[in-house]
Amino acid sequence: MIQFNAKWRKISAVIPPINTATCSLLQLKHVLSIATGGSIVNMKLIGLTKPSLIKESDDSLLSTLQVKLKNGQCTITIMAQPSLGFNASELVQFLKGVVDEAWILENIAAHAPPLVLEEPPVEKIAATGPVEVVNDLDCAFSPASTEWQNLEKHTQNCEIHFINPARPGKKLLVLDLDHTLLDFDSKDPNISVDSMKRPYLEEFLTRCYLHYDLCIWSQTKWSWVEMKLYELGLVQHLHFKLCFCLDKTIMFKLDTGYIKPLAIIWTKCQSQGGWTCANTLHIDDLGRNFEMNKKNGIVVSPFYRDEERREKKEMKALLKQENARRESRGLKPIKQSKTAAPAREATVFMAPGTVQSSLSPAGSMHDGSASLSIENAGVSGREVCGDMELYYLSIYLTSSRVVDSLHVDDLDHSNWLKFTLETLIDTTEESGNLKTG
């Protein structure tokens, strides 16, 4: 017997102990639907099972699943749309032996929504007018192009399930997961979960949550997204909440590959959130994901926990740039196996609460490097601030320049790091103390 604690939107429910030997996954979904009011259609349960590559079917008995338990209880966060109604007699029969009939009827009475959703009055629609989603975006495709038409068709088949409701007046921050917020790849079974997080991850999310609703959009399958978020403790956190999460199935395919068009969110979240290109920002380590909404994207350097893997990735990128330069001069390309790592600029490592107005590091990691000018603080953050990139990005995102802007897509975000460092230096010189908001 297992007791389940469920949460859907603002509703929390305690389920009576269930016999896992006789209860199927589908029956559990119906029980959770009755207790909270969430629909079983495309219902997703976060925290039910331990990470597994095996996809559970609705017919699976709970006893055959690796249910996550803590003190004999399982806590589940439900992602689902509101239920359209309950048939009490059918549910009593279907859940016979799983939960008590009186409990079913009591909860149906408490959470039963209307069986028919009424359409809004015509005069109300005429007064408010249609919500404009596609504006004059800076992208390679016009709203009348085939790509946009295909995107509209793709959007119709997409569903977004809220974990927590949108908060009035908050902008939306869309965050990539792998190599932006964390690096989950590891061949070491003894590696700690905390070491997989990018430095200052929780500080970054906590600071941004004050001004933004948070969305995770990963390029992996939902089962992996759920496992990563839950194992890292990002689903149920004391200082911030995730509004909703998207996986690879929501991504849109172009000839060049899959991308993350924000228009899907803007279209699907008109009734809850009401976000547009004017109040949405997207953080990702892959700039190609901004192909259809370039003005809303901020590129960060990829995070690799393994120093050797990171060095190889950086070496490959530097070598590609060098060979492009050599090719323009008619020179032969350099092979990676026969070259040493190119010399790099000095790296600035600064702890929170300190800043160096000269921006030259106290001790350079690379002998003979020239001192770093603030003009070099462009998109590539790692070369400037090392492992503190998320910390500085949180300062930029919560600055009055961004938070008070009525149209964040009108700002030039490519120089976000330069702006942040200039702000920190000015603040330090004026007051003698670093203020980060």
In sequence order, the β-bridge partners of residue 253 are 258
Number of separate helices (H) and strands (E) present in the chain: 13, 11
Domain spans, the chain: 2-111, 122-299
Here the tokens at position 186 are: 């590891």
Low-confidence ranges of the chain (pLDDT < 70): 50-56, 84, 111-145, 185-191, 306-318, 335-386, 425-437
Q: How far apart are the first and last CA of the chain?
A: 49
* Reported CATH class of domain 122-299: alpha beta
- pLDDT given for residue 374 in this prediction: 41
pTM score, whole prediction: 0.57
pLDDT tens figures, 209-228: 999 999 999 988 888 888 88
State how far the Cα of 393 lies from the Cα of 285, in Å rounded to an integer. 13
b/e 290-325 (16+ beta carbons within 10 angstroms → b): bbbbbbbbbbbbbbbbeeeebeeebeeeebeeebee
- pLDDT given for residue 385 in this prediction: 66
pLDDT tens figures, 62-108: 888 888 888 888 888 887 777 767 777 888 888 888 888 888 888 87
Coil, strand, or helix at residue 182?
strand
- The residue type found at 20 is T
Answer whether 364's CB lies under 8 Å from 385's CB. no
- pLDDT given for residue 63 in this prediction: 86
Lookup result for tokens 């998109």 = 379
- pLDDT given for residue 358 in this prediction: 33
- pLDDT given for residue 175 in this prediction: 96
- pLDDT given for residue 110 in this prediction: 75
- pLDDT given for residue 261 in this prediction: 92
Answer whether 392's CB lies under 8 Å from 420's CB. yes
Answer whether 385's CB lies under 8 Å from 350's CB. yes
- pLDDT given for residue 250 in this prediction: 93
The CATH topology of domain 2-111 is: Ubiquitin-like (UB roll) (3.10.20)
Asked if domains 2-111 and 122-299 share a fold, the reply is: no
State how far the Cα of 267 lies from the Cα of 277, in Å rounded to an integer. 11
